[in-house]
């Protein structure tokens, strides 16, 4: 039997030993350290897209005030006028005005480009917020509050513009687009998590108008940074796109009604939670409690985006809405049976975990059903449905708080979610056969 032999190597060479097993066979053993690099995760790959990080930062700055303005308005108006019904009605009016104006703004964005339309629209909305601040500070008649807040309706759909950029950059990659939609929904929830906390802190620690002032500064500066990233901006559609309007596209109207009912959940939850915390003597904690609901949704959205969805989106949507409806009963039980604000915060954290999957699936369906060249308009119509529902939920929540109690008013979000569930279970309307 042959003896093992080793090959002598230079000191600079890596420590590799060669062992002769037979006369004509040589096996090499490599003792060099091996480093295994894990493949980048879906979100790291997503943000590695050229130009993605720059427009995401600007969009995040511009989107953060979306979670600040309504809370700031409710705290500011209720604190000076002593009426949650008035505060809820004012915010509902502003949201209803946005529901009417936003699709028109989005249509202009699709036709003329994001930068040319979004910047002037943002400046008009900022002036409306400043007008509301001055009206509240100087005690002007109530109708001026409605008029001022309605002027903020020109605020562009920042989330829709970001999704339109992802759709432009990732066209044809369904998995990456699912991750992008989940990421954007998580950003939405992050803004609605941090926004109310920041607004409540500024309004209570400094002065009632501080939240609105900070929101205006973030909105304008963020929009300027976002629109400056021209390399990732989708091309404008000129001349007028030949495709039919999204509102007339098959499958879009039922989704908009679902968005309307889902928005009722968000609008009622915000006003009712602020009122419940105020009744407990902890108005400043309302932002934190609302932020926990958004935190649960943000975490669930990121997890949902890292997974590959099973089955078509239209089959997943009823399950997502059913989970949201079931989990929303937890805050109602906590508020009604215990009256404990910490327990309510915990149940809102849990209930929020079904929000992001519902919204991601809904937006995916909107993108799939929106005609070519009208994407920003289609997504803005979905947001318009949400805003209309938020307006209705805000008004209903404020009225219920005034006439019953904040604990009983938690039944409004549950009812709105149950309506959304019934709508998703309706059989789809198929197009009529020709002839």
pLDDT single digits (tens) 277-308: 888 777 667 777 877 877 787 788 777 777 77
Enter the pTM of the model. 0.66
Structural domain of residue 300, as residue ranges? Answer: 42-424
Torsion of CA 141, 266, 152, 137, to 10 degrees: 40
Predicted pLDDT of residue 18: 46
Q: What is the pLDDT of residues 147-167, one digit of tens each?
A: 888 888 888 888 878 888 887
Give the span between the Cα atoms of 100 and 182, in whole angstroms.
27
Q: Say yes or no to pLDDT of 58 above 80.
A: yes
Burial of residue 24 (number of CB atoms within 10 Å: 0-12, 13-18, 19+): exposed
Position 237 confidence tier, pLDDT thresholds 50, 70, 90: low
Predicted pLDDT of residue 394: 80
**Mean pLDDT across the chain, nearest whole number?**
77
CATH number of 185's domain:
1.20.1250.20
In this predicted structure, which of 157-171, 196-210, 226-240, 340-354 has the lowest mean pLDDT? 226-240
Predicted pLDDT of residue 78: 76
Q: Say yes or no to pLDDT of 375 above 80.
A: no
Q: Closest Cα to residue 396, out of 257, 262, 272?
A: 272
Whether residue 385 is contained in a domain is answered as: yes
N-term to C-term CA, the chain: 89
Count how many domains the chain has. Answer: 1
Position 434 confidence tier, pLDDT thresholds 50, 70, 90: very low
Residue 187 near residue 60 (C-beta atoms within 8 A): yes
Predicted pLDDT of residue 336: 84
* Contact partners, residue 28, CB within 8 Å, separation at least 6: 16, 17, 18, 19
Q: Say yes or no to pLDDT of 433 above 50.
A: no
Whether residue 22 is contained in a domain is answered as: no
Predicted pLDDT of residue 16: 47
Residue 380 near residue 261 (C-beta atoms within 8 A): no
Whether residue 330 is contained in a domain is answered as: yes
Q: Report the share of the chain in percent with pLDDT over 70.
A: 82
Q: What is the pLDDT of residues 121-144, one digit of tens each?
A: 999 989 988 888 888 888 788 888
Whether residue 15 is contained in a domain is answered as: no
The 3-state DSSP class for residue 41 equals coil
Predicted pLDDT of residue 435: 38
In this predicted structure, which of 57-61, 184-188, 315-319 has the lowest mean pLDDT? 184-188
Whether residue 3 is contained in a domain is answered as: no
The 3-state DSSP class for residue 377 equals helix
Whether residue 253 is contained in a domain is answered as: yes
Whether residue 28 is contained in a domain is answered as: no
């Amino acid at each position: 039997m042959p003896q093992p032999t080793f090959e002598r190597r230079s000191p600079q060479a890596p420590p590799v030993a060669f062992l002769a097993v037979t006369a004509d066979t040589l096996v090499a053993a490599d003792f060099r350290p091996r480093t295994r690099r894990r493949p980048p995760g879906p979100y790291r790959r997503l943000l590695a897209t050229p130009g993605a990080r720059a427009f995401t930062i600007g969009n995040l700055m511009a989107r953060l005030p979306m979670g600040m303005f309504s809370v700031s308005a409710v705290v500011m108006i209720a604190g000076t006028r002593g009426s949650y019904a008035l505060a809820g009605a004012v915010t509902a009016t502003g949201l209803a005005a946005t529901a009417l104006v936003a699709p028109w703004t989005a249509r202009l964005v699709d036709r003329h480009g994001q930068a040319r339309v979004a910047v002037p629209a943002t400046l008009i909305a900022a002036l409306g917020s400043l007008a509301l601040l001055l009206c509240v500070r100087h005690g002007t008649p109530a109708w001026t509050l409605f008029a001022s807040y309605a002027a903020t309706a020109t605020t562009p759909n920042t989330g829709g513009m970001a999704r339109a950029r992802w759709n432009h950059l990732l066209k044809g990659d369904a998995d990456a687009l699912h991750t992008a939609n989940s990421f954007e929904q998580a950003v939405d929830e992050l803004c609605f998590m941090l926004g109310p906390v920041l607004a409540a802190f500024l309004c209570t620690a400094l002065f009632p108008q501080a939240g609105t002032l900070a929101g205006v500064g973030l909105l304008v500066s963020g929009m300027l940074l976002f629109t400056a990233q021209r390399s990732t901006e989708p091309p404008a559609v000129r001349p007028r796109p030949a495709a039919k309007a999204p509102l007339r596209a098959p499958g879009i109207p039922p989704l908009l009604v679902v968005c309307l009912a889902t928005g009722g959940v968000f609008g009622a939850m915000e006003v009712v939670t602020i009122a419940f915390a105020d009744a407990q003597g902890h108005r400043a904690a309302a932002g934190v409690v609302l932020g926990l609901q958004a935190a649960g949704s943000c975490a669930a959205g990121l997890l949902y985006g890292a997974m590959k969805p099973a089955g078509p989106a239209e089959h997943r949507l009823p399950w997502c809405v059913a989970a949201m409806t079931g989990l929303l009963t937890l805050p109602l039980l906590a508020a009604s049976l215990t009256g404990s604000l910490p327990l309510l915060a915990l149940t809102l954290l849990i209930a929020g975990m079904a929000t992001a999957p519902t919204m991601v699936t809904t937006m995916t369906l909107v993108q799939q059903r929106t005609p070519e060249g009208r994407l920003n308009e289609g997504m803005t119509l979905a947001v318009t449905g949400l805003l209309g529902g938020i307006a209705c939920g805000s008004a209903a929540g404020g009225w219920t708080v005034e006439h019953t109690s904040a604990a009983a008013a938690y039944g409004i979000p549950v009812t709105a979610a149950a309506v959304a569930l019934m709508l998703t279970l309706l059989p789809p309307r198929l197009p009529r056969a020709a002839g």
